[in-house]
Chain A
């Protein structure tokens, strides 16, 4: 789900970096002191989740779990995702520093939408948040790739298809996590 360096054009980098900067400044400004521990823990969870690779045919997929960040943190998920992406780029070359803005948007925006799905009274909303967050991230990623040139259309299609099992997997994992938290009477 990470967009690497050298893939997207300069206007996309500039606009996405500007939007992310505004979002980060806003969240830091409005972040309550009592929420920082939660943001920190979930930033760590997001960082670790990307390293859990699940073999799938000839390839493998990794968990994202950004919907959990969105449901628990709301808009603060943007900050948690940004910090985790920063260290994934710096230490492991996942994504890149120039694409950190667009990667934050691709994963942060669906996380916030997941929050609004969760607060609605929907059946199987625990599954839906995970499923929809990966679906939206895949759509955003595809949109970015297609807007950056026709040569990426094939890659975008492959990425979308390979993310379909991940949508179901994340949906199932978020369902299990939220059901567990509900049974353990943990207030989200």
Chain B
């Protein structure tokens, strides 16, 4: 019984201090969440994002999250170092860039053009 109890405590301690990384990507932006437990985010931890041999160093915010704009859908290696031996690495394959390109929005395109001409129309009226 004592052994089981000690094992449970040991497992609980290890689990409680194990670093976890959760990554998602939307509209070409990679969102990474790093935490020990649900209520204990990895605050201002060193994060390294590697894609196509290009490495970018970041720090997580007070919620344990960090965002970065992706340049392609190639595999991303996410490393988080919380210090004192707490380190975790995961790989993640994004897919939102392709979706973004597929969803070329004609309405947005036309609206943007209208707004461009609108800005200059207002400028012309102002300059008169």
Contacts and interface: CB of A to CB of B under 8 A. Distances in A.
Contacts of B27: 93
Interface stretch (A11-19, A35-43, A133-141, A164-172): A35-43
Interface residues of B, number: 30
- Interface size class on chain A is 20 to 34
Contacts of A40: 116-117, 119-121
Contact of A155 (B52, B68, B108): B52
A122 B121 CA distance: 36
Interface string B43-60: 000000000111110100
Contacts of A90: 112
A47 B68 contact: no
A36 B119 CA distance: 10
Nearest to A95: B69
Contacts of A96: 69
B115 interface: yes
Contacts of B113: 44, 47-48
A93 B29 CA distance: 10
A6 B120 contact: no
Nearest to B123: A36
A83 interface: yes
A83 B124 contact: no
A91 B115 CA distance: 11
B54 A91 contact: no
B127 interface: yes
B116 A47 contact: yes
A91 B108 contact: yes
B28 interface: yes
B128 A83 contact: no
Nearest to B50: A151
A37 B123 CA distance: 10
Nearest to B115: A87
A31 interface: yes
Given A6-B56, A6-B68, A155-B54, A36 B120 contact: yes
Given A4-B71, A6-B56, A33 B127 contact: yes
Interface in B64-84: 67-69, 71
Given A6-B56, A155-B52, A87 B116 contact: yes
16 contacts: A4-B71, A5-B69, A6-B67, A6-B69, A7-B56, A43-B116, A48-B113, A83-B120, A84-B116, A91-B108, A91-B112, A92-B108, A93-B28, A96-B69, A151-B55, A154-B54
Given A6-B67, A93-B28, A93-B69, 20 more contacts: A4-B71, A6-B56, A7-B69, A31-B123, A33-B124, A33-B128, A40-B116, A40-B121, A44-B117, A51-B104, A83-B116, A83-B120, A87-B115, A91-B105, A91-B108, A91-B112, A92-B112, A93-B27, A96-B69, A151-B54
